[in-house]
Amino acid sequence: MHDFVYKEKSLYCEDVPVEKIAAEVGTPLYLYSRKTLERHFSVFDGAFRAVPHLTCYSVKACSNIALLRLFARLGAGVDVVSGGEIFRALKAGVPADRIVYSGVGKTRAEIEYALQSDILQFNIESDQELELISRVAAAMGKQARIALRINPDVDPKTHPYISTGLKKNKFGIKIEAAFDEYKKAIGLPGILVTGIACHIGSQITEVTPFVDALKRVRAFVESLAAEGIAVKYLDLGGGLGITYNEETPPHPSEYARAVISEMQGMDCTLILEPGRVIVGNAGALVARVLYTKKSEVKNFIVVDAGMNDLVRPSLYDAFHEIRPVQITDAHEISADIVGPICESGDFLARSRQIADLSQGQLIAVMSAGAYGFSMSSNYNSRPRAAEVLVSGDSFSVIRQRETVEDLVRLESMPDYLK
Ligand SMILES: *Cc1c(COP(=O)(O)O)cnc(C)c1O
């Protein structure tokens, strides 16, 4: 459910015509609905109200500080995967004791920053990381609160690039080794064992993989308890999928019911790290048609947003619904909707049935709120798009469009070229 709807023949975001925003801000632009964001967060978080829990929004899905503040005001914590994301979270006003930090490649500087900030928990992904965190914390006269991220070896049945809980993936510590790792952790000077974590993948559209993972984690927690090692936090990660096309993911309440029932009798605070399910359908990428090209074999609609703005179609062969911002009487054609980047892999949609658009018309690439702007780049020296947040009948630019000056701001000439 989202708040991009047609009124008459015009696409609106909440009560604002998309056309109006594009005219004022220019294109391409990312558009988010506050109402959808808040509803999605509240529905997800509310689904777990029966158990002690902390919903830690996954910052990498969409990292704008305005969104982070919006969620923090609703009581959210955050899941971060870099020092940069810790910085964003703190800047947005997320309390440090609601930040959990995952990722396979935490650097010493990032670890120091996280300890200095006194975050809630490190989710540790390797033996060497555990040792480094202990050393750094001890040197700072601190104890790092940690969970080990277990790799439960379950198949999330999603795209291979976003599946993370299989043995062959780089993430987490394999469950067979984790037991000894916990025993080691409790003896380390800079470490305070507080939790256990797993995250099996993204865009998961069934409950079963989550339940399977939780069953394994639960059995593992019980064997830890038998050794006198208690964990306070059980972090189940994120990964709940959304509808891009015809997927029918479980509703958050169904997911929550399954999780809560599987946790029956456990004395843990549940941590959840949803990203996509909160922001995915709350955002759209708005672009303008530059040219149309027709031939006997193919129709192309060239728009002013490309794979640098939204890489998911190119990277994952992902489907995004594409809507005309103004509905016209034009007949439908089959076309590739492509960007201006010099790569054949630069497309937003291929062989798509769509109204025969003409130059200057606007399109909305739907469900682009997650892994959209946050994965965008400057490839082909394209300034990154603006981000706009709509609230009711008003809208705010929450990230200005980059300028060409921004592109070279950090570059400099060596002396011999001056
Ligand atoms: C990316 C990520 C998430 C969020 O995943 P979604 O599929 O967007 O819900 C949560 N936890 C970790 C550790 C992640 O890497």
Give me ligand 1 centre to Cα 207, in Å: 16
pLDDT in tens, 310-359: 999 999 999 999 999 999 999 999 999 999 999 989 999 999 999 999 99
CATH of 34-279, one of 3.20.20.10, 3.30.429.10, 3.50.50.60, 2.60.40.10: 3.20.20.10
4-31+280-408 in CATH: which number?
2.40.37.10
Q: What b/e string do you get for 195-213 counting C-beta neighbours within 10 Å, with b at 16 or more?
A: bbbbbbbbbbbebebbbbb
Query: Contact 31/286 with Cβ under 8 angstroms?
Result: yes
Give pLDDT, residue 159.
76
Measured distance CA(224)–CA(241) in Å, rounded: 31
Give me ligand 1 centre to Cα 238, in Å: 5
pLDDT in tens, 200-221: 999 999 999 999 999 999 999 9
Please compute the mean of the pLDDT values over residues 363-369 and round it to a whole number.
98
DSSP string computed for 373-386 = GGG---TTTPPPPE
List pocket residues of ligand 1, CB cut-off 6 Å: 58, 60-61, 79, 81, 102, 199, 202, 237-240, 273-277, 370
Q: Which of 60, 85, 233 to mutate to test the pocket of ligand 1 (most atoms within 8 A of CB)?
A: 60
Query: Which atom of ligand 1 lies at the shortest distance from residue 203's CA?
Result: 7
Measured distance CA(395)–CA(375) in Å, rounded: 23
Whole-angstrom CA distances from 381 to 264, 308, 376, 401 are 53, 9, 12, 13
Q: Which of 121, 159, 169, 273 to mutate to test the pocket of ligand 1 (most atoms within 8 A of CB)?
A: 273
pLDDT surpasses 70 at 177: yes
Please compute the mean of the pLDDT values over residues 358-376 and round it to a whole number.
98
Query: Which atom of ligand 1 lies at the shortest distance from residue 201's CA?
Result: 7
Query: Which atom of ligand 1 lies at the shortest distance from residue 241's CA?
Result: 7
Give me ligand 1 centre to Cα 293, in Å: 39
Residues of the chain with CATH 2.40.37.10: 4-31+280-408
In this structure, which amino acid lies at residue 9?
K
Please compute the mean of the pLDDT values over residues 52-72 and round it to a whole number.
98
* Residues involved in catalysis: 342
Q: Name the band, by pLDDT with cuts 50, 70 and 90, for residue 162.
A: low
In sign, the C-alpha dihedral spanning 64, 378, 238, 128 is: negative
Q: Which of 199, 234, 272, 278 to mutate to test the pocket of ligand 1 (most atoms within 8 A of CB)?
A: 199
- pTM value > 0.95: yes
pLDDT surpasses 70 at 289: yes
Query: Which atom of ligand 1 lies at the shortest distance from residue 149's CA?
Result: 13
Give me ligand 1 centre to Cα 14, in Å: 27
Q: Name the band, by pLDDT with cuts 50, 70 and 90, for residue 112.
A: very high
Q: Name the band, by pLDDT with cuts 50, 70 and 90, for residue 134.
A: very high
Give the residue, by CA position, lying nearest to ligand 1 atom 10: 238
Give me ligand 1 centre to Cα 203, in Å: 9
Query: Which atom of ligand 1 lies at the shortest distance from residue 371's CA?
Result: 8
Give pLDDT, residue 137.
98
User: Which tops the pLDDT comparison, 301 or 297?
Assistant: 301
198: nearest Cα among 216, 180, 222, 176: 216
Q: Name the band, by pLDDT with cuts 50, 70 and 90, for residue 157.
A: confident
Residues of the chain with CATH 3.20.20.10: 34-279
Mean pLDDT of the chain: 96
